[in-house]
């Protein structure tokens, strides 16, 4: 059917595969919860409507086509304005001591297909600021009442797009100018004045493609937001370059509405049933060897481990089918084993970051909403026989055990931060004690999805983040942060840590044992023990 063809085309783009059949399963093709939101977002822009949860219950193209409906055109109330409650992750960030709250960004460097039309690019960026309310957010602080967040109406500003002509320079000079401009952009945000999204266009010699650097403060974006912004920027630019009026489709649930409804849900007792679980987890000691330390100023180092294309393909495609589970469960099985070996304990405690766009409130659709929705929650995992890291270990049993323990986490962890932020004072106090583990894990998903194809396209290649995203004096949220993603066909994980607390050689050993466990899981999933 036509609907099946449209779904299959979007799946192929998002999953980075050549062809998708009617009976293919989204998750067995390597789909995950973040990619599922990208599918929903693109379908919505095509006028087709479904909830993210529909992809989990209808996992093939044919099944999904039966529940997709033509979205009734909602009346657009226009841009959202007014005061916005701080969400749990925003409140945590703003109330944590930092060297520079204004310098905590995310970025994306794009290689462009050709030198773009600057006026069309400027119009496309203005359209993003108009359509996505969070990008216009402002933050102010006073000693009496703390931090406030508010949404002003759209207003054209002259400093959203900066232009740099690097022609006539040596490659070395051009690269140095690019790096300096990026660092100036990163360090230049004013939380009270905005805008908190800025771009820089670099034109270079004819044989070197133009580059576009997008930088946004983390308070207004997250990893899912960048996927939405990437697609919307390309779409808006195509429309502007053709001289069309720019339209980015319906607005979903606004960041303002989400923040208000989440606070109300907690106030009405909607998450009270989760309290016993969270109180039990925070009572557990975090047991990585090392000295206690506050987040904040500290010298950091990084160790990166990478898997080859064959093992990456096995973990993203074969493992979900072999173990009947999600990619995240497989990654956490390997991580839990490595941490149990490091700590010397079978029961380990760590913090998990999640995308936070959970289906907990009726009528909420966050698949196309830009903002910082990340959740951080503690989890305790039991790992039997951590001394066994050999190929003959029962890897299926390990994954099954970790999967079962992760499914016991209520609501994918959303409630922990919500109760800590919006709950009554005694609840906030109980959850604050021991709320922070010593290690946090954040899997950002797959970044090999193809941008939407079009002849008058804007983006040729994504080059990842660029420049000094964070003030170098800030030591990060946890003593150890493990951040990973799949890009260019390879899974890679970086272990950020503080050498004053955890010796780099020790961290490297744990990271390499994590990678070794992943390779065993990949081979086991392929049936090549």
Q: Report the C-alpha gap between 232 and 49 in whole angstroms.
A: 18
13-18 long-range contacts (CB < 8 A, ≥24 apart) are: 13/42, 13/449, 13/450, 13/452, 13/453, 14/38, 14/39, 14/42, 14/449, 15/446, 15/449, 16/446, 16/448, 16/449, 16/450
Least Cα distance to 34 among 445, 334, 453, 489 occurs for: 445
Residue with tokens 């462009």: 112
Cis amide leading into 106 (omega within 30) = no
Query: Which CATH code of 3.10.310.30, 2.40.50.100, 3.30.360.10, 3.30.559.10 fits the domain covering 82-241?
Result: 3.30.559.10
241 by Cβ neighbours in 10 Å (0-12 / 13-18 / 19+) ranks as middle
Answer whether 212's CB lies under 8 Å from 181's CB: no
CB atoms within 10 A of CB 219: 26
Answer whether 47's CB lies under 8 Å from 80's CB: no
Q: Report the C-alpha gap between 56 and 68 in whole angstroms.
A: 13
> Domain 288-407+436-448+468-525 belongs to what topology?
Chloramphenicol Acetyltransferase (3.30.559)
Q: Say whether 288-407+436-448+468-525 and 82-241 share the same fold.
A: yes
Q: Report the C-alpha gap between 234 and 116 in whole angstroms.
A: 11
Integer Rg of the chain from CA: 23
Q: How confident is the model at residue 529, as a pLDDT?
A: 44
Q: Report the C-alpha gap between 86 and 98 in whole angstroms.
A: 18
Q: Are β-strands 48-49 and 146-151 bridged in parallel, bridged antiparallel, or unpaired?
A: unpaired
Q: φ, ψ for residue 516 (rounded to 5)? A: -65, -40
For the chain, what percentages of helix, strand and coil (3-state, to nearest 5) are there? 40, 20, 40
Domain residue limits, the chain: 2-70, 82-241, 288-407+436-448+468-525
Answer whether 199's CB lies under 8 Å from 168's CB: no
Residue with tokens 């899997």: 443
Least Cα distance to 416 among 274, 247, 304, 518 occurs for: 274
Name the CATH superfamily for 2-70. Answer: ACP-like (1.10.1200.10)
Q: φ, ψ for residue 410 (rounded to 5)? A: -70, 135
pLDDT tens track, the chain, 529 positions: 888 888 898 888 888 788 889 888 888 888 888 888 888 888 887 778 888 888 888 989 999 989 888 766 666 667 788 999 999 999 999 998 888 999 999 999 999 988 899 999 999 999 999 999 999 999 999 989 899 999 998 888 778 999 999 998 988 999 999 999 999 999 999 999 989 999 999 998 888 899 999 999 999 999 999 989 998 999 999 999 999 999 988 888 999 999 999 999 999 999 999 999 999 999 887 667 765 545 444 688 999 999 999 999 999 989 988 888 889 999 999 999 999 999 999 999 999 999 999 888 888 889 889 999 999 999 999 999 999 988 889 999 999 999 999 999 999 999 999 999 999 999 999 998 777 788 999 998 887 655 555 556 788 888 888 998 988 888 778 899 999 999 888 999 999 999 988 999 999 999 999 999 999 999 999 885 4
CB within 8 Å of 515: residues ≥ 6 apart: 305, 306, 307, 493
Q: φ, ψ for residue 376 (rounded to 5)? A: -130, 125
């Amino acid at each position: 059917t036509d609907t099946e063809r449209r779904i299959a085309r979007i799946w192929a783009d998002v999953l980075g595969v050549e062809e998708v059949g009617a009976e293919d399963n989204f998750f067995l093709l390597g789909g995950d919860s973040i990619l599922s939101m990208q599918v929903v977002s693109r379908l919505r822009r095509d006028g087709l409507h479904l909830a993210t949860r529909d992809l989990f219950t209808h996992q093939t193209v044919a099944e999904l086509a039966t529940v997709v409906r033509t979205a009734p055109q909602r009346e657009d109330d226009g841009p959202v304005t007014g005061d916005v409650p701080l969400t749990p992750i925003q409140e945590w960030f703003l109330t944590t001591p930092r060297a520079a709250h204004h310098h905590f960004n995310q970025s994306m460097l794009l290689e462009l297909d050709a030198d773009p039309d600057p006026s069309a690019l400027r119009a496309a960026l203005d359209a993003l600021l108009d359509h996505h309310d969070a990008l216009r957010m402002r933050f102010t602080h006073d000693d009496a009442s703390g931090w406030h967040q508010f949404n002003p109406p759209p207003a054209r500003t002259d400093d959203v797009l900066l232009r740099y002509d690097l022609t006539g320079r040596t490659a070395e000079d051009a690269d140095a100018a690019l790096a300096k401009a990026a660092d100036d952009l990163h360090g230049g945000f004013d939380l009270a004045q905005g805008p908190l999204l800025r771009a820089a266009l670099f034109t270079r010699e004819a044989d070197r493609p133009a580059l576009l650097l997008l930088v946004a403060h983390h308070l207004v974006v997250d990893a899912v937001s960048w996927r939405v912004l990437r697609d919307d920027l390309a779409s808006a630019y195509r429309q502007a370059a053709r001289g069309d009026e720019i339209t980015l489709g319906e607005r979903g649930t606004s960041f303002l509405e989400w923040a208000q409804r989440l606070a109300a849900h907690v106030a009405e007792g909607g998450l009270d049933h989760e309290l016993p679980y969270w109180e039990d987890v925070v009572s557990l000691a975090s047991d990585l060897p090392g000295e206690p330390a506050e987040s904040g100023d500290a010298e950091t180092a990084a160790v990166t481990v990478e898997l080859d294309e064959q093992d990456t393909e096995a973990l993203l495609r074969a493992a979900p089918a072999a173990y009947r589970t999600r990619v995240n469960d497989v990654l956490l099985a390997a991580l839990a084993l490595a941490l149990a070996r490091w700590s010397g304990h079978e029961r380990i405690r760590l913090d998990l970051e999640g995308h936070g766009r959970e289906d907990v409130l009726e009528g909420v659709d966050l698949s196309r909403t830009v903002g910082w929705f990340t959740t951080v929650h503690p989890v305790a995992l039991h790992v039997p026989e951590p001394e066994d890291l050999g190929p003959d270990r029962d890897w299926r049993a390990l994954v099954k055990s970790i999967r079962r323990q992760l499914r016991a986490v209520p609501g994918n962890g959303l409630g922990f931060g919500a109760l800590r932020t919006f709950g009554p004072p005694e609840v906030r106090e109980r959850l604050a004690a021991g709320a922070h583990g010593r290690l946090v894990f954040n899997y950002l998903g797959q970044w090999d999805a193809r941008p939407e194809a079009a002849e008058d396209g804007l983006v040729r290649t994504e080059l990842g983040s660029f420049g000094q995203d964070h003030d170098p004096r800030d030591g990060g949220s946890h003593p150890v942060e493990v951040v990973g993603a799949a890009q260019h066909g390879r899974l890679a994980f970086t272990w950020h840590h503080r050498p004053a607390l955890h010796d780099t050689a020790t961290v490297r050993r744990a990271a390499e044992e994590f990678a070794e466990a992943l390779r065993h899981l990949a081979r086991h999933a392929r049936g090549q023990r």
